[in-house]
Chains A and B, each alone.
Chain A
Amino acid sequence: MSTAARSRSLDVARIRKDFPFLERKVNGRPLVYLDNAATSQKPRQVIQALVDYYERYNANVHRGVHTLSVEATEAYEEARRKVARFINAPDETCVIWTRNTTESLNLIAYSWGDANVGAGDNIVTTAMEHHSDIVPWQQLALRRKAEVRYIPVAADGTLDMDAAEHLIDGRTRLVAAMHASNVLGVVNPVRELAAMAHRRGALIAVDGAQSVPSMPVDVQGLGCDFLAFSAHKMCGPTGIGVLYVRPAVLAKMQPWMFGGDMISEVTYEGAKWNDLPYRFEAGTPNIADAIATGVAADYLSGLGMDKVWAHEQALGAYALDKVRVLEMFRVLGPEDPSKRGGLVAFYHGSIHPHDLGTALDRMGIAIRTGHHCAMPLVRSHGIVAAARASFYVYTTEAEVDALVEGLKEAVSYFSRSRTPLRASPRVQR
């Protein structure tokens, strides 16, 4: 490979050295970790940032005058600036730390939703959403006597944009959509949805849980009003997430949690709110994990998000080609690899995903099995569960090959019985 070609792709061998986790064995075999859409592993730079904080400058933020508190506050706010740059936010005052994507979406529902959605209004989401982008809107609709609508998924696994054009109407207050699907692997046309929402006077909330870790995401370029994501899927720690809110929208939003740190003045009669974004961060925040999230964003920026995306798409296409030709296996989502990212969800005609998952686990291969927190979508395919292999910056083609060999071995294992393996009446195709 020429130097030019190399510089355009990730140096996976070098990246793997940053991830101590990849050295471990599972059931006596080298780990093949293919559950990255559930959570990614962490590079030592991120782990070290946590250790540094706890060993050297653990102190509460925004409070003391002592050196440690100043250092902790500076690191905490620097991490916010790093994340703002990572998603091209206009500045860091519109970046709110939360616990995860789910809390970010709930913050929108309670803080913005309760004040802006009324009886007879509607919220338009999609039929492929994660439960975290369905249930908060259902509950908001119940509280406000509003309606939740779902943009259907077309036969080719993409969003039905013609239907979206009709579903989003003058009573739509919010469009909520995932940027990339954790089951179908498809990338949704968020920019077009944002334009559609704005033409009707609605706002758009983007669930970036699967996109922010994997591709360049530019909140201003996409035109989104809200972007929610979690750090743990992008080399960062668990327990911390982000909500970006467009400044003009954020300025009018009321807090939803109250207490310390979110106020500027408290009397026995009432309180004044702190500046943005602090009024949305009540209580002592998750300081260590915020700092480590900034390091994770830097780590990914250092790799180059365009290269990360190219790597994921290439592995996604490779796995798609290999799995869909296996006998009795079906892959969910678009057949066109250019519409997909780095994951492949699939099912076998007669072997349940959990049984496949247990067999692969014995071979050291970790995949996700189940409904993927998208019960309505999975059931719409006539199945109750699917298996999913998802890739990240350290995944190799050899690991995809190991998956494919593992699947063949699992099929052979479950076919060993004298009772011939046949499509079970209990599993619908």
Chain B
Amino acid sequence: MMQPREDLDELYEEIVLDHYRNPRSAALLAAPTVDVAVNNPFCGDEIRLQLKAGLDGKVEAISVTGRGCAISQSSGSLLTGLVGGKDANGLHDTVVLVRRLLKGDRLTEADMDNLGDLAALAGVRRYPVRVKCALLAWSALEEAAEKLKA
């Protein structure tokens, strides 16, 4: 069974499983500015994302909750560490960057630094069917950014 294990390690890095088991920022907000729920019709996985923005339009608090696989849920947890202090445009830029990472584009070192631990999800690129899982939370963030702008 060694070969399957080594293959799987690319997808399920320790940090991914840790975020799955111990999701960060997973408490619902009392008064969110935007509240978005998305699901993946292919598998049924669910993500709910809430943002609280200040008067300057910048994110002050976030919550991501949901039900689903290790990839979709850890991606949601990792997302929560990348949005603080960003406005709608900043959120949008981050979504674009993450899409590029997960679809296999080569990112600059500076971009990779900005993504931090999320780089651990890059192994999903070898599993095209699982890319959708990893993107679920980010499509919620994109929708939230649009609402924040409006």
Question: A: which residues have CB within 8 A of B?
Answer: 27-28, 351-355, 358-359, 362-363, 369-371, 375, 378-379, 383-385, 409, 413-414, 417, 419, 421-422, 424, 426-428
Q: Which of B108-130 contact A (CB under 8 A)?
A: 127, 130
The residues of A that contact B12 with a CB separation of less than 8 Å are 355, 413-414
Rounded to whole Å, the gap between the CB of B120 and the closest CB of chain A is 13
How many A-B residue pairs have C-beta atoms within 8 angstroms? Tell me: 83
Is B105 located at the chain interface by the 8 A CB criterion? no
Nearest first, the 7 A-B pairs at minimum CB distance are A362-B4, A352-B69, A354-B69, A371-B44, A384-B44, A370-B43, A355-B70
Q: Is the CB of A355 within 8 A of B69?
A: yes
Instruction: From B8, B42, B46, name the one whose CB has the most chain A CB atoms within 10 angstroms.
Output: B8
A-B pairs with beta carbons under 8 Å apart, 29 shown: A27-B7, A351-B70, A353-B69, A354-B43, A354-B130, A355-B70, A358-B11, A358-B130, A359-B8, A362-B3, A362-B8, A363-B1, A363-B4, A370-B43, A370-B44, A378-B44, A384-B44, A385-B44, A413-B12, A414-B12, A417-B21, A419-B21, A421-B21, A422-B21, A426-B65, A426-B66, A426-B67, A426-B68, A428-B67
The residues of A that contact B11 with a CB separation of less than 8 Å are 358
Is B5 located at the chain interface by the 8 A CB criterion? yes
Rounded to whole Å, the gap between the CB of B2 and the closest CB of chain A is 11
In the bound assembly, the distance between CA atoms of A384 and B67 in angstroms comes to 7
In the bound assembly, the distance between CA atoms of A428 and B66 in angstroms comes to 11
Question: B: which residues have CB within 8 A of A?
Answer: 1, 3-5, 7-8, 11-12, 14, 17-18, 20-23, 42-46, 65-71, 73, 127, 130, 133
In the bound assembly, the distance between CA atoms of A48 and B132 in angstroms comes to 37
Q: Is the CB of B71 within 8 A of A354?
A: yes
The residues of A that contact B44 with a CB separation of less than 8 Å are 370-371, 375, 378-379, 384-385
Q: Which residue of A lies closest to B3 (CB)?
A: A28
The residues of A that contact B70 with a CB separation of less than 8 Å are 351-352, 354-355, 414
In the bound assembly, the distance between CA atoms of A27 and B7 in angstroms comes to 10
In the bound assembly, the distance between CA atoms of A355 and B69 in angstroms comes to 6
With contact pairs A354-B133, A362-B8 given, residues A419 and B69 touching in the complex (Cβ less than 8 Å): no
Q: Given A362-B7, A370-B43, 7 other A-B contacts at CB below 8 A? A: A352-B70, A352-B73, A358-B127, A359-B4, A370-B44, A422-B21, A426-B23
In the bound assembly, the distance between CA atoms of A409 and B1 in angstroms comes to 8
In the bound assembly, the distance between CA atoms of A232 and B4 in angstroms comes to 31
The residues of A that contact B68 with a CB separation of less than 8 Å are 352, 354, 384-385, 426
In the bound assembly, the distance between CA atoms of A379 and B44 in angstroms comes to 9
The residues of A that contact B133 with a CB separation of less than 8 Å are 354
Q: Is the CB of A358 within 8 A of B67?
A: no
Rounded to whole Å, the gap between the CB of B46 and the closest CB of chain A is 6
